[in-house]
Amino acid sequence: MTDRSTSPEPADDAAQGLVDAATLPGVPDAFQRLWTPHRMAYINAGADAMRAACPFCAAPDLSDADGLIVHRGRTAYVLLNLFPYNSGHLLVCPYRHIATYDQATPEEVAEIGELTQTGMRVLREVSRCDGFNIGMNQGAVAGAGVDEHLHQHIVPRWASDANFFPIIARTKALPQLLGEVRTAVSEAWPATTA
């Protein structure tokens, strides 16, 4: 017999919308699930798909909407990450197909820096984020998904979001569609920057 003084009535749980994770299919653990199927396109494609045709060389040849480009500069451009860790996850890429930061010209380094600063300002305005993770993974061994084309990540963060790159840990929900984010960011991008 169950001690009802310490166990809530099942009807109480259902009325509150709570689900015991141990009753869900699969291996019981402490996590509730928010499914993010868009990540499977990235996982299923594998590393070879990114090497066969460089997505950062192809994007500038597409329309801004199709390439998810929010701004085109002189030596570098800004686009949304097709597989974002957070809504508004931007990438700053040189047009030239170079693999590492030390291969960039002084002009490319300056513009990548300028576009990164502008991207931060625009994301603060558009998404009211509280902070950022900014960085470059140089080489496959360092975690670069596209290791042959230099790109810098600008990942907006909010005080209420989870730890760094939570989708790797378990799950991440994205509240906006990529097209909506691209439109908002590109419309807010100042016309006077590089």
Which positions are catalytic? 151
Residues 109, 136: Cα–Cα separation, whole Å: 13
In terms of DSSP bridges, do strands 131-135 and 76-80 run parallel, antiparallel, or are they unpaired?
unpaired
In this structure, are residues 127 and 156 in contact, taking their beta carbons and an 8 Å threshold?
Answer: yes
In this structure, are residues 28 and 166 in contact, taking their beta carbons and an 8 Å threshold?
Answer: no
Residues 157, 124: Cα–Cα separation, whole Å: 10
- Residue-wise over 151-166: b if at least 16 C-beta within 10 A, else e? bbbbbbbeeebeeeee
In this structure, are residues 156 and 123 in contact, taking their beta carbons and an 8 Å threshold?
Answer: yes
Q: Which residues face 78 on adjacent strands? A: 71, 92
Residues 194, 69: Cα–Cα separation, whole Å: 14
